Amino acid sequence: MADPSTLATITRKVVLVTGANSGIGLALCERLLAEDGEIHLCLACRNMQRAEAAKAALLLSHPGSDINLLRVDVGNIKSVIEAAQEIMQRYQRLDYLYLNAGIMPNPRINLKAFINGLFSSKVISMFATGEGLLTQEDWVTDDGLQQVFMTNVFGHFLLIRGLEPLLGQPGCPSQVIWTSSNNARKSAFSLTDYQHGHGQESYSSSKYATDLLSVALNKHYNSQVSSVAFVIDHRPITSTSKELVPSIECEVFR
């Protein structure tokens, strides 16, 4: 006889959120459980202690919820491949895949750009979006890839590819939802340097790349799998504000 927890994930919608243990990811999980207490929610995190703490917090506000944990470091190729295999073993369906984990390491003010911007026509957009204002630190991972690209883009892309057999099962369409940013900028992105190894706006480049990928995935898959990138505004820079989770998520969720 099948394990009851397996049976539950056949009938319940399965929702997986990367970077679910804090900030927008955790706020998103709160919102998802508030919208539908019947889902099976999988918190995909790199640190299991923080994941356990997030699960405990969610169970406190939503007692009896069906919450599971999965270890994944989206900045590490091996970890992503293993996580995809684990998900494939655990679940028969994957309704919503929220690609939320992300990093913007040590943004610093580019003083020269700031002073130039003050006296240019771009002054308002500079203050509104930080365009050209922040230099974003980056480095190379053990896998030989740029860290920001790997974490924000490629790790998640690998996860999608690894989960393809599970996505869009007959009668069970899947949605892939990227957390993008108003800091995504075409001017920061180049196809000849898509990892942004030679620039100073790795974060803006990575978020633009996720927007592009989201569009490309819709072309690649049939209607059983759809992809959307939702934009979070960087102005209220806080990682805990629930107001940052826009209503679009709930619309997507329905």
Ligand X SMILES: NC(=O)c1ccc[n+]([C@@H]2O[C@H](COP(=O)([O-])OP(=O)(O)OC[C@H]3O[C@@H](n4cnc5c(N)ncnc54)[C@H](OP(=O)(O)O)[C@@H]3O)[C@@H](O)[C@H]2O)c1
Residues assigned a catalytic role: 203
Q: Tokens for 24, please give them.
A: 């927008």
Phi-psi region of 64 (alpha: psi -120 to 50; beta: other; left: phi over 0): left
DSSP per residue over 139-204, as a string?
-B-TTSSBHHHIIIIIHHHHHHHHTTTTTTBTTB-EEEEEEEETT--GGG--GGGTT-SSSSBHHH
Q: Taking a C-beta distance cutoff of 8 angstroms, is the pair 162, 213 a contact?
A: no
- Shortest distance, CB of residue 109 to ligand X, whole angstroms? 17
Identity of the residue, 95 or 249, whose beta carbon is nearer to ligand X in the bound complex: 249
User: Which residues, at least 6 apart from 245, have a Cβ–Cβ distance to it below 8 Å?
Assistant: 24, 27, 28, 31
- Shortest distance, CB of residue 73 to ligand X, whole angstroms? 4
- Shortest distance, CB of residue 24 to ligand X, whole angstroms? 3
Q: Tokens for 112, please give them.
A: 């020269």
What does the alpha-carbon distance between residue 152 and residue 149 come to, in Å, rounded to a whole number?
5
Q: How many residues bind ligand X (CB under 6 A)?
A: 27
- Shortest distance, CB of residue 41 to ligand X, whole angstroms? 15
Question: What string marks each residue from 187 to 226 as x (binds ligand X by CB under 6 A) or -?
Answer: ----------------------------------------
**Coil/strand/helix, residue 108:** strand
User: Which residues, at least 6 apart from 31, have a Cβ–Cβ distance to it below 8 Å?
Assistant: 242, 245, 249, 250
Asked if 133 is part of the footprint of ligand X (rule: CB under 6 A), the reply reads: no
Asked if 75 is part of the footprint of ligand X (rule: CB under 6 A), the reply reads: yes
Identity of the residue, 72 or 188, whose beta carbon is nearer to ligand X in the bound complex: 72
Considering only 5, 61, 106, 239, the residue that binds ligand X (CB under 6 A) is 239
The DSSP H or E segment spanning 68 is: strand 66-71
Asked if 148 is part of the footprint of ligand X (rule: CB under 6 A), the reply reads: no
Asked if 227 is part of the footprint of ligand X (rule: CB under 6 A), the reply reads: no
Residues of span 105-124 touching ligand X by CB under 6 A? none
Considering only 17, 32, 33, 46, the residue that binds ligand X (CB under 6 A) is 46
Asked if 168 is part of the footprint of ligand X (rule: CB under 6 A), the reply reads: no
- Shortest distance, CB of residue 237 to ligand X, whole angstroms? 5
Q: Taking a C-beta distance cutoff of 8 angstroms, is the pair 178, 212 a contact?
A: no
Q: What is the residue whose two structure tokens read 């002054």?
A: 123
Asked if 21 is part of the footprint of ligand X (rule: CB under 6 A), the reply reads: yes
Identity of the residue, 6 or 239, whose beta carbon is nearer to ligand X in the bound complex: 239
Considering only 11, 47, 61, 224, the residue that binds ligand X (CB under 6 A) is 47
Residues contributing to the site for ligand X (CB under 6 A): 18-19, 21-25, 45-47, 50, 72-75, 100-104, 151, 179, 181, 232, 234, 237, 239
